[in-house]
Amino acid sequence: MTQYEPVIGLEIHGELLTNSKMFCSCSADYGSAPEPNSNICPVCTGLPGAMPVVNKKATELAALVGLALNCSINKHNTFARKNYYYPDLPKGYQISQYELPIAEKGSLDVNDGSENQLTVRVRRVHIEEDTAKLAHEKNYALVDFNRAGVPLLEIVSEPDIRTVEAALDYATKVRAILRYLGVNSGDMEKGVLRFEANISVRPVGSDEFRTRTEIKNLNSFRALVRASQYEIERQIKIYEEGGTVVQETLGWDDAREVTTSQRSKEEAHDYRYFPEPDLPPLQLSDAWIESIRSQLPELPEAKTARFISDFGLTPSEARFLTSERTLANYFESVVANSKSPAKTIHSWIAGEFMRYLNDSGLSIDDVTLAPETLAKLIDMVTDKTIGASAGKTVLTELFKNGGDPAQIVKEKNLLQMTDVNAIQELVTKILNDNPKEVDEYNAGKETLFQWFMGQVARATKGKADPNVAKELMVKGLEERKK
């Protein structure tokens, strides 16, 4: 049987975080609009005679993304009219970039799912405007133009991706870069970041490009993965049955987990692109480009490498911490204020810290617990002032009500018992009071050891130094062997 491999290219659409829309002064914050069709003007609703003006901030953010993706910035770039009719497009065309985008010929290294690195080429990064929003009812649709004209960035990859895992890694890394740069919130539930997957399959070892389909408007990583997997399997089945894949645009039905045909796939000529007559070409100087380059922060890949070398973290530990710029900065602030090893701090943040956030439905951006305070708590556990269990109790209290770790420990009487003589006395009493269990343990029922340790924890309310208690318990049991 013929073995097939997928050929995947991704288009990523991200709204840019600007105060105003791409070609007018209307607010771009359509989510906070008091009512539908309130953030609009003659430009973004396409009224005759209205003249667009390019948003300078959006242009800067687009160039910043291009540089972060290792692209070349075109010093001369132009806008075009992309003509098609749809109810959410008030002008009957979209102002976009076509022949001369702001950035092109970039690259991004991704993982293909088996720890192999591959380079995905970025064909282009271009600026355009978002469409209005449609609300579909039973027999009609409502249109809200508040989103029409919001700055939109499109990032188009070459068809270099060969696994769904690589597509997910590419999409994840692009989202992280956009968030690191502060150009997009990455909040896919709100539709500010959307994926479109171009997919075809071919026999393994072939270098041909077969007919592809495009899956539109995937607004989550889960949808990207499931839609891509389904479409790959669907196309393979068609070829195995002797059929032909039709080039078309597809939607993803998340409830039924199937792709559905929307329309035959358009080519560039179908849009009848021509230069936007109301906008002159953008002329970008070398000095301007370098001023944008100077704004680049340390990006996720570079930060990951530094965390591995500077803090002795594993690649997976470092990737977790650098997945969000806010999280990476928080970790570094805790490290800077702590005497504990970086690995210990990672364990706390990846463990109890994130568990509390997940259980509470919070993100790292919502955290009010100061890094200095968390550092103080972790140090109290490291130097055995309190035990790990008490540390978790204090962390929960800090999240809920704030305060000082030392004061909370004092008020809740959580200081760790480190007096060897006191722990020895307790261990001896537990062994004397439970001769049956001692005999069963020494007869080979080693699982009882945790029971004995549980008795110590119960008697001391978890405050006994677990290492001291364990050592004394092992010694006490050994002495009672017959």
Residue the block writes with tokens 């290219």: 9
pLDDT at 460: 78
- Residue-by-residue DSSP string for 403-431: --HHHHHHHTT---B--HHHHHHHHHHHH
For residue range 371-404, list pLDDT tens digits in order: 999 999 999 999 888 888 889 999 999 999 999 9
Q: Classify residue 20 by its DSSP letter.
A: B
Instruction: Tell me what the mean pLDDT of segment 133-143 comes to.
Output: 92
Task: Label residue 301 by pLDDT band (50, 70, 90).
Answer: very high
The 10s digit of each residue's pLDDT in 33-65 is 999 999 999 999 999 999 999 999 999 999 999
Span 162-176, pLDDT tens digits:
999 999 999 999 999
Contacts 24+ apart (CB under 8 A), 133-136: 133/30, 133/88, 134/87, 134/88
Beta bridge partners of 282: 77
Residue that is written with structure tokens 């709204």 in the block: 15
Tokens of residue 133, six digits: 């929003």
pTM over 0.75: yes
Residue 325 near residue 314 (C-beta atoms within 8 A): no
Encode burial over 343-382: b for 16+ CB neighbours within 10 A, e otherwise.
eebbebbbebbeebbeeeeeebeebeeebebbbbbbbbbb
From CA 209, how far away is CA 231, in angstroms rounded?
A: 16
Q: What is the mean pLDDT of residues 410-438?
A: 81
Cα–Cα separations (whole angstroms), residue 243 to 14, 236, 239: 36, 10, 5
